[in-house]
Amino acid sequence: MESTGGVNGVHKEDTLLDNRPPSVEENSNTNNNDNAKSSPVPEQSANGGETQMLSKRQQKKLLRRQKWNETKTERRKKEREKLKKRLVEKRAAGEPCGNIRKKLKQMTMASSSCKQRVVVDMSFDDLMIEKHLSQCVKQVSRCYSANRRVSSPMQLYVTSFEGKCAEVMSKQNGYEHWDVYFKKENYMDIFPKEDIIYLTSESKNVITSVDESKVYVIGGLVDHNVHKGLCLRLAEEKGITHGRLPIDEFIEMKTRKVLTIDHVFRIILGVTEGGSWKEAFLNTIPARKGAVGKDEENDCEDSELDKDVTNNSDDKSEDNPSESKDPVIEEGDAEKS
């Protein structure tokens, strides 16, 4: 009769069961236990019942947000202290303090002592691609921004404001409330023909002073010289007076003398504020264009010439060592002294 006992009280059947390979079900249970140890942190969903698992990146983001919220009170306290310090410094320097936005709202074109009229002609939207049209609208917005920050703003008009340019401008939130005269009509239908001066760099007529009785028109065209001379040709066809700013008379530039719409506007604005043409050019034209005043350039050239003359004289003295720098006093001169 066969014995059913095993070695050391362990049955053979149990030994065989222990040595068998693990089943698929056992493997899945083991993997689930391992994943449970390194599983992401669950987060309660907005719906309430269900939860979603956060990745490591989301966990770090959550920690950063918690730290940010914890230090909010301390940060606000530091910001208030900085603001108080700035106000004390401004008062000591005699600078205006308080709500700047309220003061800007008080500086309107209607209440301004400056009645100089400047027009941006937006009748060229069909000649511009969408990118250039967006740039043109941005430059117009910079004109408005510069105008509202001076004590005596000019009278800014935007004419032929319809179609594509109006669509692009609609992306500027609240532009309807800007202190700008937006007109659908052409500038020729708004102002007398004899008062209009169309500004174009190709004109031979140099504007030496700003006349408040005139209306200066800036072409609202960004084309990177694709339609060069177009504004001059249109002014001549319509019989309108045209002119250019005196940039050649006051400024030397390393690059092309091409100014944007807002540059032209700010230069005229600077002159109406009491500045000189030279100051207006240098304060407006970006430094990357290398604009230098004509007087400054002459001074630089004179100083360089002086250096060259000095260097040449030094070289000559080195070539002739026998010539002494100290003056030679002759006997007759010594007796006279």
Q: Per residue in 57-116, pLDDT tens? A: 999 999 999 999 999 888 888 989 988 888 888 778 776 666 556 666 678 999 999 999
Q: How far apart are CA 114 and CA 154, in angstroms?
A: 6
Both structure tokens of 327: 């003056």
Report whether 193 contacts 233 (CB < 8 A): no
Paired strand residues for 157? 119, 181
Give the number of other Cβ atoms within 10 Å of residue 45's Cβ: 10
Q: What residues have CB less than 8 Å from 314, skipping those under 6 apart?
A: none
pLDDT at 125: 87
Q: In this structure, which amino acid lies at residue 11?
A: H
Q: Average pLDDT over the chain, rounded to whole?
A: 78
pLDDT digits (tens, 9 = 90+) for 162-188: 999 999 999 888 899 999 999 999 999
pLDDT digits (tens, 9 = 90+) for 1-55: 444 444 445 454 444 444 555 554 454 454 455 444 444 555 554 445 545 688 9
Whose tokens are 């430094």? That residue is 287
Q: How far apart are CA 81 and CA 289, in angstroms?
A: 40
